[in-house]
């Protein structure tokens, strides 16, 4: 058999006579690119970039984990239990979570809300003189300024009434829309409580369960005293501050815990939909707005400076790449990832600077007037979005490591598998989502009015993903429709879970098997970096005197043969010594003792007869299957590889020896 790289024979033992392209080397009978100086420089540069990037990634992780801690969770949990779980009294179990009408809202506002905001007595009912003119929630969390209550309304006659019912219905208030918002004065019309107040341009809108709400509205603040707050809330309740047009009420306040240097910004929301009733929701943000207090904070500040330097260097690097590659730069997915990381990092640096300045301004206004509401919700909202952005940045920063370790065999197999099966997966995805969305629409139309998990089309999609993962409530589906419920569930599980999901896994498994077989037959040429690492390791062992160099091995072999020459041995004995040395070197490396080679050898002896047996055979030989051909090809490649290595070593030994082909008379001289 003849390998594509060249025949196996004596010619392979003479490297000088072999003609192959410059800049290449023969390894195991396969011509591979030689690790030239430029290639070595490129690989070393990649390793240096990987080392620098690991330092950058470590710095980024220190910064991100320095922004969060477990105290944030416990602070949110304590505050949510206080304001959401506390009931009005033992007889009346109304709490914020159980609010179902405007009556319940007023009970909560005049009861558990004020009880949670004003802590002016100790547990033994003694008055706290140290907390004069201030409130400390749970005695540890300072209430910043005062709390603010705000509502949004819609105008009357903003919805269409069917003609048959116009004589019975004179008023109609639709669901909240910004264009339908009522901004006119109402009630007593003698103060800011009854007058609409516009929001600042930077105030974020609130995304609630029933709509998207603006930042303005009719608002008022609670006094510093608990008794005054009770009287004010009772006055507003008696004068009908909440009307039929009210669609949402916001309760905002902020606290600061100096023990753990955290701000807790709370927003309690009660929506009054057009259907009637009430839908309560809440938001608790524990954020670290004052960054530089402890020594660890200053260590994080130094990490921030290092992070800025890294980003500045990355910006210069990307600009140079764009100038050099021009439009080719945008054809690489890794370059797009680099631009995303740099963009997110620039935005993070800008927001960090803005946050520091804004907090200092807010603290100055709060210290100057403690009877106003400090809008920390704006900062807490964007701080949370900033944390989310940093989390995404860290995620993609870890993904970028694959760019530097693509020389790894496993990573190459993974990327090859994904790229090869991409078309099959896209075709499968089209078929999958056609069936998936068909079931989602069926579930929404059949169960949407009765089952919460199918109340919206988005909920249907997420519910079906949960069914695939084994999380479902079959009883609610069956109760909603006794006939279509079981049919929907059984057919969905059969087609999506048992058929489509297994087809998806089969596509990936088959492609991975093909890629692995290809890598076994044709070794990849993308692993030169391992050669560099191996060379560096061997050089280090030689310098530490833990291993002999190749030249020393050649000198030792040449010295032994030279000693045989001086002792007068014949050329045949020297040849026998060379053969014995070659056989021992092969046995030392275990080439011919390899279990895989022995296995292939046994199979070949079993399947193929000798030349004499072929002449005596009567039946024609069996056809060779593709699997057998691959085994033969691998065996021939491995055998040629071992033979060429032995011949190459023999040629190196012969080069280091003096001329042994002279006459015996010359040897005697």
Question: Can you give the pLDDT at residue 139?
Answer: 87
pLDDT at 3 over 90: no
* Long-range Cβ contact pairs of 404-409 (< 8 A, separation 24 or more): 404/46, 404/49, 404/50, 404/53, 405/50, 406/526, 407/526, 407/527, 407/528, 407/529, 407/530, 409/519, 409/524, 409/527
Of the given ranges (46-50, 72-76, 598-602), which has the lowest mean pLDDT?
598-602
Question: Can you give the pLDDT at residue 506?
Answer: 92
pLDDT digits (tens, 9 = 90+) for 549-561: 655 554 454 555 4
Question: Can you give the pLDDT at residue 604?
Answer: 58
- What tokens does 107 get? 């009970």
Q: Which residues touch 545 (CB under 8 Å, ≥6 apart)?
A: none
pLDDT at 55 over 70: yes
d(CA 231, CA 235): 6
d(CA 322, CA 130): 63
Question: Can you give the pLDDT at residue 158?
Answer: 86
pLDDT digits (tens, 9 = 90+) for 96-152: 999 999 999 999 999 999 999 988 777 777 777 655 667 888 888 999 889 999 999
pLDDT digits (tens, 9 = 90+) for 147-194: 999 999 999 988 888 888 888 888 889 999 999 999 999 988 887 889
The residue written with tokens 């290449």 in the block is: 24
- What tokens does 353 get? 């600077």
d(CA 108, CA 276): 18
- 593 compared with 399, residue with greater pLDDT: 399
Q: What pTM, to 2 d.p., does this model score?
A: 0.69
pLDDT at 647 over 90: no
pLDDT at 4 over 70: no
Q: Which of 282, 273, 345, 357 is nearest to 310 (CA)?
A: 345
Q: How confident is the model at residue 289 (pLDDT cuts 50, 70, 90)?
A: confident
| Burial (Cβ within 10 Å: 0-12, 13-18, ≥19) of residue 190 | exposed
d(CA 545, CA 534): 17
Taking residues 315-329, report their average pLDDT: 89
pLDDT digits (tens, 9 = 90+) for 348-384: 888 888 888 888 887 777 777 888 888 888 888 888 8
**Share in percent of the chain as helix, strand, coil (round to 5):** 60, 10, 30
Q: How confident is the model at residue 395 (pLDDT cuts 50, 70, 90)?
A: very high
In order of 421, 493, 553, 629, 658, the CA distances from 556 in angstroms are: 54, 73, 5, 43, 14
CA 403 to chain centre: 15
DSSP class of residue 101 equals: S
d(CA 92, CA 592): 88
Question: Can you give the pLDDT at residue 194?
Answer: 92
- What tokens does 293 get? 């207090």
d(CA 138, CA 81): 12
Q: Which residues touch 198 (CB under 8 Å, ≥6 apart)?
A: 216
Question: Can you give the pLDDT at residue 576?
Answer: 54
| Burial (Cβ within 10 Å: 0-12, 13-18, ≥19) of residue 29 | buried
- 614 compared with 248, residue with greater pLDDT: 248
Question: Can you give the pLDDT at residue 269?
Answer: 95
- 518 compared with 582, residue with greater pLDDT: 518
d(CA 230, CA 659): 113
Contact between 80 and 267 (Cβ < 8 Å): no
End-to-end Cα spacing for the chain = 48
382-415 residues labelled b (16+ CB within 10 A) or e (exposed): bbeebbebbeebbeebeebeebbeebeeeebbee
Contact between 217 and 152 (Cβ < 8 Å): yes
Contact between 79 and 90 (Cβ < 8 Å): no
Question: Can you give the pLDDT at residue 567?
Answer: 52
Q: Give the number of C-alpha atoms closer than 13 A to the C-alpha of residue 332, restricted to the C-beta side.
A: 15
pLDDT at 585 over 80: no
Taking residues 322-329, report their average pLDDT: 88
d(CA 530, CA 459): 50
pLDDT digits (tens, 9 = 90+) for 210-247: 889 998 899 999 998 888 999 999 999 999 999 999 99
In order of 94, 239, 314, 315, 318, the CA distances from 322 in angstroms are: 63, 67, 12, 11, 6
- What tokens does 560 get? 């032994």
- Backbone φ and ψ of 51, nearest 5°: -65, -45
CB atoms within 10 A of CB 284: 19
pLDDT at 280 over 90: yes
Share of residues in the chain with pLDDT > 70 (%):
75
- 144 compared with 26, residue with greater pLDDT: 144
Measured N-to-C along each axis, helices 422-447 and 501-521 cross at an angle, to the nearest 10 degrees, of 170
How many residues are listed for the chain in this entry?
669
pLDDT at 431 over 50: yes
Of the given ranges (7-16, 115-124, 372-381, 635-644), which has the lowest mean pLDDT?
7-16
- 205 compared with 577, residue with greater pLDDT: 205
Q: How confident is the model at residue 568 (pLDDT cuts 50, 70, 90)?
A: low
Contact between 463 and 473 (Cβ < 8 Å): no
Contact between 306 and 349 (Cβ < 8 Å): no
pLDDT at 584 over 50: no
- What tokens does 194 get? 């009854």
- 575 compared with 271, residue with greater pLDDT: 271
Number of H helices, E strands in the chain: 22, 10
| Burial (Cβ within 10 Å: 0-12, 13-18, ≥19) of residue 255 | buried
Q: Which of 224, 19, 196 is nearest to 119 (CA)?
A: 224
DSSP 427-477: HHHHHHHHHHHHHHHHHHHHHTTT-GGGSSHHHHHHHHHHHHTT---HHHH
User: Nearest 5 degrees, angle CA 317-CA 320-CA 324?
Assistant: 140
pLDDT digits (tens, 9 = 90+) for 521-539: 655 544 455 666 677 777 7
| Mean of pLDDT over the chain | 79
Question: Can you give the pLDDT at residue 167?
Answer: 82
Of the given ranges (300-314, 347-361, 498-512, 548-562), which has the lowest mean pLDDT?
548-562
Q: How confident is the model at residue 386 (pLDDT cuts 50, 70, 90)?
A: confident
Q: H-helix or E-strand containing 150?
A: strand 141-153
H-type alpha helices, 188-294: 226-238
DSSP 497-556: IIIIHHHHHHHHHHHHHHHHHHHHHS--S--HHHHHHHHHHHHHHHHTTSS--HHHHHHH
- 627 compared with 277, residue with greater pLDDT: 277
Q: Which residues touch 138 (CB under 8 Å, ≥6 apart)?
A: 78, 82, 119
């Amino acid at each position: 058999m003849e390998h594509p790289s060249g025949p196996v024979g004596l010619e392979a033992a003479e490297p000088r006579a072999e003609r192959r392209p410059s800049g290449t080397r023969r390894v195991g009978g396969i011509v591979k690119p030689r690790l030239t100086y430029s290639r070595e420089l490129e690989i070393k540069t990649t390793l240096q970039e990987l080392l620098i990037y690991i330092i950058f990634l470590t710095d980024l992780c220190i910064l991100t984990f320095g922004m969060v801690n477990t105290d944030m969770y416990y602070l949110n949990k304590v505050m949510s239990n206080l304001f959401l779980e506390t009931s009005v009294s033992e007889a009346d179990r109304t709490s914020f979570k159980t609010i179902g009408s405007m009556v319940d809202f007023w009970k909560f506002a005049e009861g558990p809300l004020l009880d949670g905001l004003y802590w002016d007595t100790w547990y033994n009912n003694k008055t706290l003189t140290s907390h004069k003119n201030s409130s400390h929630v749970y005695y540890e969390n300072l209430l910043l300024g005062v709390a603010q209550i705000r509502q949004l309304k819609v105008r009357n006659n903003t919805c269409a009434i069917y003609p048959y019912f116009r004589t019975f219905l004179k008023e109609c208030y639709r669901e909240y829309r910004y264009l339908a918002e009522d901004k006119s004065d109402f009630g007593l019309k003698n103060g800011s409580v009854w007058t609409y107040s516009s929001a600042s341009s930077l105030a974020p809108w609130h995304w609630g369960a029933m709509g998207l709400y603006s930042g303005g509205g009719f608002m008022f603040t609670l006094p510093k005293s608990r008794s005054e707050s009770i009287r004010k809330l009772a006055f507003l309740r008696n004068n009908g501050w909440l009307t039929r047009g009210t669609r949402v009420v916001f309760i905002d306040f902020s606290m600061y815990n100096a023990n753990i240097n955290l701000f807790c910004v709370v927003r309690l929301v009660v929506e009054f939909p057009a259907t009637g009733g009430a839908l309560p929701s809440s938001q608790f943000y524990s954020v670290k707005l004052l960054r530089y207090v402890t020594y660890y904070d200053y260590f994080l500040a130094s990490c921030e400076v290092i992070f800025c330097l890294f980003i500045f260097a990355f910006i210069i690097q990307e600009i140079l790449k764009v100038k050099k590659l021009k439009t080719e730069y945008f054809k690489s997915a890794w370059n797009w990832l680099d631009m995303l990381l740099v963009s997110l990092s620039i935005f993070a640096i800008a927001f960090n600077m803005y946050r520091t300045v804004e907090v200092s301004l807010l603290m100055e206004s709060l210290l100057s007037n403690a009877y106003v509401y400090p809008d920390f919700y704006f900062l807490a909202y964007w701080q949370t979005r900033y944390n989310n952005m940093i989390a995404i940045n860290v995620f993609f920063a870890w993904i970028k490591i694959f760019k530097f370790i693509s020389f790894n065999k496993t990573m190459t197999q993974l990327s090859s598998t994904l790229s090869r099966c991409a078309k099959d997966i896209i075709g499968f995805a089209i078929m999958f989502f056609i069936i998936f969305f068909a079931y989602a629409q069926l579930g929404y139309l059949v169960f949407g009015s009765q089952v919460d998990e199918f109340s919206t089309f988005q909920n249907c999609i997420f519910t079906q993903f949960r069914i695939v993962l084994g999380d479902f409530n079959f009883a609610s589906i069956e109760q909603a429709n006794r006939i279509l419920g079981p049919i929907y569930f059984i057919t969905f599980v059969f087609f999506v879970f048992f058929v489509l999901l297994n087809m998806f896994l089969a596509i990936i498994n088959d492609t991975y098997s093909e890629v692995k077989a290809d890598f076994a037959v044709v070794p990849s040429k993308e692993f030169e970096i391992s050669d560099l690492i191996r060379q560096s390791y061997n050089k280090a062992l030689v310098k530490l005197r833990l291993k002999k160099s190749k030249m020393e091995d050649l000198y030792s072999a040449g010295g032994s043969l030279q000693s045989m020459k001086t002792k007068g041995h014949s050329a045949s004995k020297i040849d026998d010594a060379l053969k014995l040395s070659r056989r021992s070197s092969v046995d030392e490396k275990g080439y011919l003792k390899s279990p895989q080679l022995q296995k292939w050898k046994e199979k070949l002896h079993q399947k193929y007869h000798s030349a004499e047996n072929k002449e005596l055979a009567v039946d024609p030989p069996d056809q060779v299957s593709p699997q057998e051909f691959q085994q033969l090809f691998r065996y021939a490649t491995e055998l040629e590889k071992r033979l060429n290595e032995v011949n190459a070593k023999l040629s190196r030994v012969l080069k280091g020896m003096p001329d042994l082909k002279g006459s015996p008379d010359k040897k005697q001289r």
